[in-house]
Amino acid sequence: MKKQTAALHNLGCKVNAYELEAVRQLLEGSGYEIVPFAPGADLYVINTCTVTSIADKKSRQMLHKAKKMNPDALVVAMGCYAQINGDSLTKDPAIDIVIGNNKRMELLQAIQAHQESGEKQDARININQTKIYEPLEITRSSEHTRAFIKVQDGCNQFCTYCMIPYARGRVRSRRPEDVVREVTKLAENGTREVVITGIHVCSYGRDFETGSASASAADPGSGRNTQKTDLLYLLQQVNKIPGIDRIRLGSLEPTVMTEETAAGMARLEKLCPHFHLSLQSGCDATLARMNRGYTAAEYRGIVELLRRQFDRPAITTDVIVGFPGETAEEFEESRRFIEEISFYETHIFPYSRREGTRAAAFPDQIPEPVKKERALVLRELGDAKRAAWLQQFTGETAEVLPEEKIRVQGKWYWRGHTPRYQEALLPADDDSASIAAGVPVQVRILDVLEKQYLLCEQIEVF
């Protein structure tokens, strides 16, 4: 009998990517053959995103594209857009199954129910009411050497521009022993680097009950657990796993980083000195309208704290330009702040009006041409800062974890990353025969190429 085929497509963040990889492995385990997202598949699964109005539009487009590629196929809408807009999707003739957040593991049951009844299936819950963490897991990574590990879901922040708390619900954390078990399996299957990620990863453990049985070792005198199960504790456990050489952190919120946490992280030999610390604006008035919960000065203090604890850590960030009410003076205040901090990388996003958020109803919406102009200013600043930050490492040695071969300026290179997540290039010629994906290489940094890459040469280690 011919195998049923399934095509998958992901929209959105690294958390979404992890979740779809778990679904991929679930389908493979049940006998499906995974095929490219092209005409002819029996099943199409689109993991949707709703972070912006543009993401909503792309989600709808991909769902309808799937049905056009094979009108007889089952089309599944999964994820954040499906969670928020499930009522309309169940009325859409192109959609057969709607799977909301926290229900991905019920996909096979939903497919069977549809096949038996011929009726649309709507697998959603009131995501704002659940305290249950969905038990997703992967045993191998599609990136081979690096794997993203989801440890937390939901957000309690309610930034005024963001729909994610409504799509993902409140903070829910995964038990540390489950994370350790998954990472151990990945290490056994060749993964050398893990990225700890979540929707609001710094909130990890906040939802655990005090003294819960799975938190840590019990205090023999009291019979209760005394170890605080937070992000630092989780990192300490992952740091002990054999076969894992590097641990990275996903996006962090500046409100939860303390001196104690940073010092504890600095003691973990496998933790990479790379921190994505979301800023969004360097202007206090704009931050207040965003409901970010910190000031620019407080953010600067966290950056200084990390730079005290780590040697030249790579600090990367996100910035929104053109937020409602952002005056020319406020933008300039934000620009100066970004220039002073000197980030390794600055990801710039023009504000996207998202219906259903508080910011969508704010007065003084910024015209699109102004947003584009401000975004260009910050991108040029970010490119210059990145090149300058990279240049300081020329002449030094570093460890690179090769990942793939790419072509740059007409030549082939091994591309990999240093612990600081700097992109590094090693010539892929006859002399590079000893280089292999996933095997660390000691290099000397020669130059900065295209303001983005560290050009390196392999060095012998005695």
Strands (E), 167-227: 172-173, 193-198, 218-219, 224-225
Indicate the pLDDT class of residue 211, thresholds 50, 70 and 90: very low
Using CB atoms within 10 Å of the CB of residue 200, give its burial: 0 to 12 exposed, 13 to 18 middle, 19+ buried.
Answer: buried
Q: What is the pLDDT of residue 437?
A: 87
How do the domains of the chain map onto residue ranges? 5-123, 130-136+143-211+225-272, 397-458
Q: What is the mean pLDDT of the chain?
A: 92
Alpha carbons 42 and 35: distance in angstroms, whole number: 10
- Other Cβ atoms within 10 Å of 294 Cβ, number: 17
> How far does CA 455 lie from the centroid of its chain?
27
pLDDT at residue 214 in the model = 35
pTM recorded for the entire structure? 0.91
Residues 301-321: pLDDT tens digits?
999 999 999 999 999 999 999
Q: What is the pLDDT of residue 217?
A: 32
Residue with the larger pLDDT of the pair 181 and 460: 181
Task: Kindly calculate the radius of gyration of the chain based on its CA atoms and give it in whole angstroms.
Answer: 23
User: For residue 222, is pLDDT > 90?
Assistant: no
Q: What is the pLDDT of residues 127-141, one digit of tens each?
A: 999 999 999 999 988
User: 432 pLDDT band (50/70/90 cuts)?
Assistant: low
Q: What is the pLDDT of residues 48-64, one digit of tens each?
A: 999 988 999 999 999 99
Question: Residue 257 in contact with residue 300, Cβ under 8 Å?
Answer: no
Give CA–CA dist 403/437, Å, rounded: 5
Q: Give the position of tokens 């799975």.
A: 214
CATH of domain 5-123: 3.40.50.12160
Query: 129: buried, middle or exposed (CB in 10 Å: 19+, 13-18, 0-12)?
Result: exposed
Q: How far apart are CA 255 and CA 419, in angstroms?
A: 25
Assess contact for 140 and 189: CB atoms under 8 A.
yes
Give tens-digit pLDDT for 102-121: 999 999 999 999 999 999 99
List strand residue ranges (DSSP E) for 286-417, in order.
314-321, 345-350, 397-408, 411-417
Question: Contact, 252 vs 275, CB < 8 A?
Answer: yes
Choose between 211 and 445: higher pLDDT.
Answer: 445
Report the SS3 class of residue 417. strand
Summarize pLDDT for 340-385 with one digit per residue, the tens. 999 999 999 999 999 999 999 999 999 999 999 999 999 999 999 9
- Exposure string (b/e) for 150-175, b if CB count within 10 Å is 16 or more? bbbbbbebebbbbbbbbbbbbbbbbb
Mean pLDDT of the region 389-413: 95
DSSP state of 439: S
> Residue 202: in which H helix or E strand, if any?
none
Any idea which fold 130-136+143-211+225-272 has? Transcription Regulator spoIIAA (3.30.750)
d(CA 210, CA 234): 16
Percentage of residues in the chain with pLDDT exceeding 90?
86
Residues β-bridged to residue 314: 274
pLDDT at 101: 96
Say which CATH class 397-458 falls into: mainly beta
pLDDT at residue 251, as a whole number = 87
